[in-house]
């Protein structure tokens, strides 16, 4: 138990370090904003574990000329005190933490900096007055147990980007794609992903406004959002085809093999389930034949599990239908198998939809790749 507790403490410290932007960056941001916005004060809040860092921050020589405008409440403010402070604040800037969720309760405009293990689409505050900045690194978000000394995601978000957006929010300016392109250099913009929160008929969503190409993970996230909303709630969600790079299109095209293989496996599941039902309902049951087909379903589970390891972005769909099958209701073999049959039908239909999404997303890139060959052929003719 002591070893387990020690390991947990190490992971917690690693996670906290990954999520915190760092004293020097906060000092740079406060200095820039204090200089550009002389009528505002800056209140720092945090828990008891943040006292040492906050003290170093407010006592930094870089902020000496603005010391009367930087007020440190870290370790002394209760949740109620912080709530009241946010009620009277023009803007909250900070990590995706408890304070950001308090800011959503007080309807305070917020600028959220997501780093390390944070997953913005899962944990961003429920506030349509929020802008979220996340690093564009391929390793983001990272896992808690993964050590990282250099923290490259921290370097991707610089104080110029945060300060520019924060100042605009204080001035009640609209943060849009055109604003970002006009006010932030392409070099800085290429290293981050900026999201704007908005309410939809299905809840709150994060809309990317930084005009970056979507990664394969983000593309699949959009795919899953559409199919699960329809499958679980019967809600149709309209979405444009994702804007992807040539490299992402190439990566997605590799997934067509895994998707087609899963489609075949799920259809085999339909076949073997029907055979079990036919055998169980016959006047003279061939128990060995029924058992053989049940074993075949077990083999399909194993092959699906292997497929998701080779194609990790398919894991969400594979895991869902595996658990759904394992929890099939029924008191008899026939009842359980009938539910499994429906499960395999649903799985094959949804994986077919994913295949359609992938093909439509990569087709423009495939067409562009073929176009030069057409021109060369035309020239030869």
Summarised one tens digit per residue, pLDDT across range 141-194 is: 988 778 888 889 999 999 999 999 999 999 999 999 999 999 999 989 999 999
User: What whole-number distance in Å separates Cα of residue 259 and Cα of residue 253?
Assistant: 10
Span 194-251, pLDDT tens digits: 999 999 888 888 999 987 788 899 899 989 999 999 999 898 887 778 888 889 999 9
Residue 41: per-residue pLDDT? 96
Question: Tokens 């176009």 identify what position?
Answer: 371
What contacts 24+ positions apart, CB below 8 Å, involve 85-92?
Answer: 85/43, 85/45, 89/43, 90/40, 90/170, 91/166, 91/169, 91/170
The Cα–Cα gap between 167 and 187 comes to 20
d(CA 141, CA 17): 14
- Residue 16's pLDDT band, with cuts at 50, 70 and 90, is confident
pLDDT in tens, 129-139: 999 999 999 88
CA nearest neighbour of 254 among 362, 176, 335: 362
In tens, the pLDDT along 324-362 reads 999 999 999 999 999 999 999 999 999 999 999 999 999
**What is the structure's pLDDT at 376?**
37
For residues 194 and 116, give the distance between their C-alpha atoms in angstroms, rounded to a whole number.
16
The answer to whether 82 touches 99, Cβ cutoff 8 Å, is yes
Residue whose C-alpha is closest to residue 160's, from 282, 32, 304: 32
Q: Is the peptide bond before 114 cis (omega within 30 degrees of 0)?
A: no
What span, in angstroms and rounded, lies between the C-alpha atoms of 221 and 248? 14
Give the pLDDT band of residue 286 (cuts 50, 70, 90): confident
CB-CB contact of 33 with 163 (8 Å): yes
Q: Which residues, in sequence order, are CB contacts of 215 under 8 Å at separation 6+?
A: 138, 248
Which value, to the nearest 10 degrees, does the dihedral of the CA atoms of residues 332, 337, 343, 348 take?
Answer: 180
Taking Cα atoms as reference points, which of 240, 267, 265, 262 lies closest to residue 316?
262
Residue 182 and residue 146 in contact, taking contact as beta carbons nearer than 8 Å: no
pLDDT given at position 366: 81
User: Residue 325: what pLDDT?
Assistant: 94
In angstroms, how far apart are the furthest CA atoms of the chain?
A: 92
Q: Are 133 and 114 in contact (CB under 8 A)?
A: yes
Could you tell me the pLDDT band of residue 375, with boundaries at 50, 70 and 90? Answer: very low
pLDDT category, 377, cuts 50, 70, 90? very low
Q: Which residues contact 81 (CB under 8 A, 6 or more apart)?
A: 73
Q: Give the range among 11-15, 97-101, 212-216 with minimum mean pLDDT.
A: 11-15
Question: Rounded to whole angstroms, how far apart are CA atoms 39 and 55?
Answer: 23
């Amino acid at each position: 138990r002591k070893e387990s507790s020690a390991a947990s403490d190490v992971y917690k410290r690693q996670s906290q370090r990954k999520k915190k932007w760092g004293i020097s960056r906060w000092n740079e941001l406060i200095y820039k904003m204090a200089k550009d916005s002389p009528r505002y004060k800056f209140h720092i809040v945090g828990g008891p574990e943040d006292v040492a860092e906050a003290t170093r921050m407010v006592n930094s020589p870089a902020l000496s000329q603005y010391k009367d405008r930087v007020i440190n409440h870290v370790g002394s403010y209760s949740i109620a005190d912080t709530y009241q402070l946010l009620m009277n604040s023009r803007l909250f800037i900070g990590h995706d933490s408890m304070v950001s969720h308090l800011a959503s309760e007080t309807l305070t405009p917020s600028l959220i900096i997501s780093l390390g293990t944070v997953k913005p689409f899962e944990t961003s505050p429920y506030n349509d007055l929020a802008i979220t900045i996340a690093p564009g690194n391929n390793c983001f978000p990272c896992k808690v147990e993964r050590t990282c000394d250099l923290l490259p995601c921290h370097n991707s978000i610089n104080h110029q980007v945060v300060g520019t957006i924060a100042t605009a929010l204080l001035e009640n300016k609209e943060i849009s794609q055109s604003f970002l392109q006009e006010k932030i250099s392409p070099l800085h913009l290429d290293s981050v992903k900026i999201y704007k929160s908005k309410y939809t008929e299905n809840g709150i969503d994060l809309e990317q406004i930084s005009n970056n190409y979507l990664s394969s993970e983000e593309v699949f996230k959009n795919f899953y959002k559409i199919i699960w909303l329809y499958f679980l709630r019967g809600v149709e969600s309209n979405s444009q085809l994702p804007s992807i790079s040539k490299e992402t299109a190439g990566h997605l095209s590799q997934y067509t093999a895994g998707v087609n293989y899963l489609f075949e496996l799920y259809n085999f599941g339909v076949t073997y389930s029907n055979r079990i039902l036919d055998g169980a309902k016959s006047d003279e049951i061939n128990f060995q034949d029924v058992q053989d087909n049940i074993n075949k379903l077990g083999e399909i589970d194993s092959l699906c599990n292997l497929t998701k390891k080779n194609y990790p972005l398919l894991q969400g769909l594979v895991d869902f239908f595996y658990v759904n099958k394992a929890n099939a209701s029924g008191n008899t073999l026939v009842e359980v198998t009938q539910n499994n049959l429906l499960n395999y039908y649903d799985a094959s239909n949804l994986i077919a939809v994913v295949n359609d999404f992938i093909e439509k997303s990569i087709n423009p890139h495939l067409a562009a790749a073929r176009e030069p060959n057409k021109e060369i052929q035309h020239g030869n003719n």
